[in-house]
Chain A
Amino acid sequence: MAAHVVATTDEIAPGERKIVEVDGRSIGVFNVAGRYYALRNTCPHAGARLCEGTLSGLVTSRAPGEYSYERDGEILRCPWHGWEFDVTTGRSWFDPAGTRVRAYETSVEAGTGHVPGPYVAERYDVEVRRRYVVVHV
């Protein structure tokens, strides 16, 4: 598993995302309340750019007419057909075991000890005190 620096931490604010390219793969990197998650940017259904979809909460219900709305910002809806995916796991809501998108491990690390990625060349020298979001592919 190779570690790829994809952003500085302050580049992706809470509730925001960044689409990056790693080894030819498009990957969405999400900041959910200070934690970073990375998903393959391809919907397993029909191949849409999933990570460009709406981020929202999870709507559930105990009875008709009653709504529970929670996990705000953790549910990603595919822009094509609206299938919902859990940003933190890549699993779909309706079929978590069978319909899911590849989720990659992420970490936040100091700016040393890695093979410099594309950003490093531009920023390494001037932003050496920042922390980096790393996706492990």
Chain B
Amino acid sequence: MVVELAGAGGAREYARPADWPGVALVDTDVHITPRSIDALAAHLPARWRDYVRESGVRSLESDLYPPRSPLSAIPGTRPDTGPPGSDLDLLRAQLLDPWRTRVALTHCVYGVDGIHNPDWATAMARAVNDWQRAEWLAAEPRLRGSVVVAAQDPARAAEEIDRVGPLPEFVQVLMPVRARVPLGSRTYWPIYEAAQRHGLALAVYAGGSAGNPVTPVGAPSYYLEEYVGLTHAFQAQVVSLVCEGVPVRFPGLPIVLVESGFTWLPALMWRLDKNWKGLRREVPWVDRLPSEVIRESVRLTAQPIDAPDDPALLRAVLDRLGSDRMLMFATDYPHHQFDDPAQAAPAGLPAESMARFLGGNASDTYRLEG
């Protein structure tokens, strides 16, 4: 059942590298998705179940990872029926067992945020949460879930967090990087307040289908631009969250960037710090260097690593991050982010930093026990 990666150096098992330390591995980015929209029907109120059926809605699957794009799925991860990431047994056999994963954070990036009817969106978010709980989280103790909310209606999104947030199997709330308005906006604060109330993290994921283009200058033409452009959206959200004062107002709320990359972050911190010195009067609640706020509040899942060919250059970027507590190990299963499992960790991390990277940082962020 173990899948093989066919890289330049020959086939390699998709499994935890033998020379990694024996720390409890926390995989902070694993995708799950319904086999089809029918899987959610049982969790929808009759009015919305029939609405979906009568309207002929086939799928709310995100198109960020087009089904036939090589990035979208490691060969062999597609179950007989349904898309990659829709089969728990396969997830166990291909990911949790061979990587000896202690905890895997699951994300269901279903297109709830793209629904313009806020009542339907709220019902769908609720259904996705009940579905993941019933079919994944309750069935597999190594999984921890992400609360899907319809941020179209922040007050009811907060109610949904109050409903499922107390359950130990949920550890974060998902918001799309391509949001309707910048994520620092006070519009969303009821969501953050609810997340903090239940000790959840705020996870900003690569995706979102509410209609805003991925770049700040309009919609690009090609998938390459779209995929690379996600980093622009992430940068805009980091600036928004910091400047609007979300880390000040919600000091116990970790902000996790999922699939954001991280090589851009040092340069963004330089720019923010530099200009904050002269412009901080406008945002006086940002009362210390923005880079300090970011190092304290922001965490990043490590895949994709935008690594240059020379490993020394990546190490230099890691040094410039200025903290070994920010990056968290991730496979991004079933997405195809590396050809050699060794590439799932930056090369040459000191032992202590490697242990933090593989599990410690995630355990702190998500308050995982043991």
Contacts and interface: CB of A to CB of B under 8 A. Distances in A.
Contact of B284 (A61, A78, A81, A82): A61
Residue of B186, B287, B289 with most chain A CB atoms under a 10 A cut-off: B287
A63 B277 contact: no
A64 B244 contact: yes
A93 B289 CA distance: 12
Contacts of B245: 63-65
- Majority-rule SS of A interface residues: loop
Interface residues of A, number: 17
B184 to A, nearest CB: 9
Contacts of A83: 277-278
A84 B281 contact: yes
A94 interface: yes
A58 to B, nearest CB: 9
A66 B278 CA distance: 20
Nearest to B273: A94
A94 B277 CA distance: 6
Contact of A59 (B186, B244, B284): B284
Contacts of B279: 82
Contacts of A84: 281
B78 interface: no
Interface residues of B, number: 16
A78 B277 CA distance: 11
A61 B249 CA distance: 11
Contacts of B284: 59-61, 67-68
Contacts of B289: 94
Given A64-B246, A68-B284, 16 more contacts: A59-B281, A59-B284, A60-B284, A61-B287, A63-B249, A64-B186, A64-B244, A64-B245, A65-B186, A66-B285, A78-B278, A82-B277, A83-B277, A94-B277, A94-B280, A94-B289
Interface of A: 59-68, 78, 81-84, 93-94
5 contacts: A60-B287, A61-B284, A63-B248, A64-B244, A65-B245
Interface of B: 186, 244-246, 248-249, 276-281, 284-285, 287, 289
The 4 A-B pairs with the shortest beta carbon distances in the complex, nearest first, are A64-B245, A82-B278, A61-B284, A61-B285
